[in-house]
Structure 1
Amino acid sequence: MASASASKKMREEVTCSICLNLMAEPVSISCGHSYCQACLLDFMGPSLSSPRYQQNTYSSSRYQQNTYSPRSQQDTQTFSCPQCGTPFQRDSLRPNRQLGSLIAALRQQKLEQLEREQQQQLELSCQEHGERLHLFCEDEGQLICWRCEREGRHKGHNTALMEDVSPGYREKLQEAVRKLRQLEEECTNQKAFTAKQMAQWKEKVEAQRQKIQAEFQNLRSFLREEERSYLWRLESEEQRTLQRLRDSEADLGQQSRKLQSHIRELEERCQGSAQKLLQDVKGALSRSQAVRLETPEALVLEIETECEVPELYFDLRKHLRSHQVGVTLDPETAHPELILSQDQRQVTRGPQREAALSPQRFMASPCILGRQSFASGRRYFEVDVGEGTGWDVGVCLESVQRLGGTTQRPETGFWALRLCAQDGYVALTWPRTPLRLQERPLLVGVLLDCEVGLVSFYSGTSGSHMFTFPRASFPDVLRPYLQVYPYSPLFLPSLDE
């Protein structure tokens, strides 16, 4: 419908308002309107019968002869535009080639349309009889002429006028179109649903990819720390055994020198005179017979440091918890603002209470220690930090300063991680080490290796590695260490939990 309206508007634009036909050799005047050249020249020609055109004394032939002549008085005559009445002069006429090309295209379009209509008329004629196809054969579904119905192979078939059956078939076709459009709409919906599924599937795959990468990254980090731990443990075992072997070697060297001294003494007696040989001979024999070889302690050269890598690989959390120990809190070390549960596994920050001043109690910071102390082996414990907004979790030396303020760092005897509103997750090194954790740990695991001198931290939920302090030497026993922040209680799960 929009195309027909546009075509109609276009034809109106190229129609001469004088003859009301498509313009022939269109020319434009100064106001912008265009007309057929012949129509405009006739309009400008002499007309004595009308006072309106009494100034138009130039004929068409005269105009054609003087189109390119020097400007004359006749060229300066003024006429009025037939449409808008705007004055114009004869010499303002200009051929409108663009409009001429458009009119030629419209004429060609009209010609092609007539040819199509003629072709349609031919198609609507019976090829056998040349008669107009105005009947419809219901039996064979074909348009036929009256002679086909009476003389041809359609004789006796069920036929009807084309105009009578076309509404029914139009409804059937419209119904078919409606069903096809429903199918098309369903297909479009299925396509959109499939595209949505593709996007969801890609999101799931990407999430799984990131999960796999994170887990393998955690595994690699854990295995690196375990490798370092086992290698340092093996190195320590190597040095201990080598030192015992060096001690045995030195002792045997000393005994060898004593034996050589006795041998030289006896050989000198044998080679000397009878007098020298017999002088204190019994004492010499007694001394030589008293010599005994002190055999060093027999060492079993079997390596004690064993590492089952497949076990580490398949279950990191199981491996960590194989070293787990139960930890409870020591109320004698609790800062006056800390409140302990009855089972001494949960601690909360509250209002300050009166507490006996003791060198065991933290007075400067709201800290508390675990009852258990660690001096050897590997020990692992977990602290449930939950959704708390702040906490310190780790270990410290038994001998740390408790009455006055001190900066928590390895040099002062603290190995811990911290969460605080200002810095987020940090390791209490000096300077502090920011931690970029992929998940928020609700359960913090602390792995202490007293033999090697390592303190490592893991997420107790996923087993992912969080941080390992540089290797250290512990001059004193270590105890679990917690600092409690407001509205952030800490809980020590039992081994059963």
Structure 2
Amino acid sequence: MASTTGTNKMKEIATCSICLNLMMHPVSITCGHSYCQFCLKLYFEQMPQNQGEKMFFCPLCREPFHKDSLRSNRQLENLIEVIQEMEEKEDELLCEAHGQQLQLFCEDDGQLICWRCERAPQHQGHNTVLVEDVCQDYKEKLEQAARNLNQLQEECRNQKELITTQITEWKDKIEIQRQKMESEFKNFHTLLHEEEKSYLWRLKKEEEQLLMRLKEREANLEQKSEELKSCRLELEAKRQSSAQKLLQDVKGTLSRTCAVKLEAPEVFSLEVQTACDVAELYLDVKAMLRRHQVGVTLDPDTAHPHLYLSKDRRQVSRGYSQQNLEVSSRRFTAFPCVLGCEGFTSGRHYFEVDVGEGTAWDVGVCMENVERGLGMKQEPELGFWAIRLCPENGYAALTSPPTALELQEQPLVVGIVLDYEAGTVSFYNMTTGSHIFTFPKASFSDTLRPFFQVYQYSPLFLPSCNE
């Protein structure tokens, strides 16, 4: 009785508190507690690291320890070997049929048998060997099976990490695509509201569909990981048991563990298929804008002396000062500017300016009564709503101060929309159909007219409504 109590106390000391079995290759940590080397490896895999410093907490006393502080406990391992030898003697199995020791192993049937079973008809002609002779061989096979499972577990973990990365990458790409679409639709919300909702809905559906597949694969890998873990624990328990228990149904164990396979990783395309060709959609915007198009001609009485107008008053270029021009208070004298003949006091109006490949120009609208002499400043507060191209600073909206404009493509034709009641002036690149700029809402109270400033070697042309 005392011997049994002593054995139980030794087993309690040598039992791993993680797997609750006798420790296999025991290792000790800083606080003095010991665990199976294999169980600690699983513990490391399952627990998050402390700020990436390889710090963990003892499963028993919660004392922190460093992953690199593990040390093999040889004395405890020797004690476990003694315990196992004692258990083997205590747990020695006897043949149920003959009451003899099961000292033989039948390779054909995968069974432990006694010497009398060997002579029985059911085992005649079978390959039988001593338990001691075959145990090591099967132990090595179990170890190889465990190594295979370890390799599959590692591959499974790598695939899980890949799936996690792909989920993050996919969400990032979806977010980038969403922001891009929302940005392009921002200034056309009224005209393109239904198209925006449609494309974003399709993008979300695409996101959900692939995310569902990715998460399904992630769940399958998690399930496979648990299955592999279970098999590994079964093999570890089998390997550390007595020879007779090890060989009992060993072929079944090997068959089950070897049957565990990891499916080939599914390749997921992380290219977003839902794309919005906004420029193509803007073709409809052009048609919408042109429903409000008005023909604009140039007013020679407002033209600066350095400007030359064509006979049809649709083209203006800059040259030398003209003589004998009629004196007019309406004429621009400080800068080479000219107004359109048409005045707008209400409604929505759209006109186009062919700026060609000119290197400098100002186009927009202005109040009828703006300053045209030396005190002229092109600001909304002083009655000007225009955009500019100049060689030094590129494109800019003439706000106060000017707003730099980043255009993806050079506009050859600029569309100008005046909504008098709404108090807005907007500009479009009609080469691509894209929005350029909209001035903040204003309150118009006077006649507005098309406005143009002309630079050297950069003539401007006003297309007619049907061009």
Q: Which has the larger radius of gyration?
A: 1
**So what's the TM-score if we normalise by structure 1?**
0.40
Higher relative contact order (CA 8 A, sep 6+): 2
**So what's the TM-score if we normalise by structure 2?**
0.42
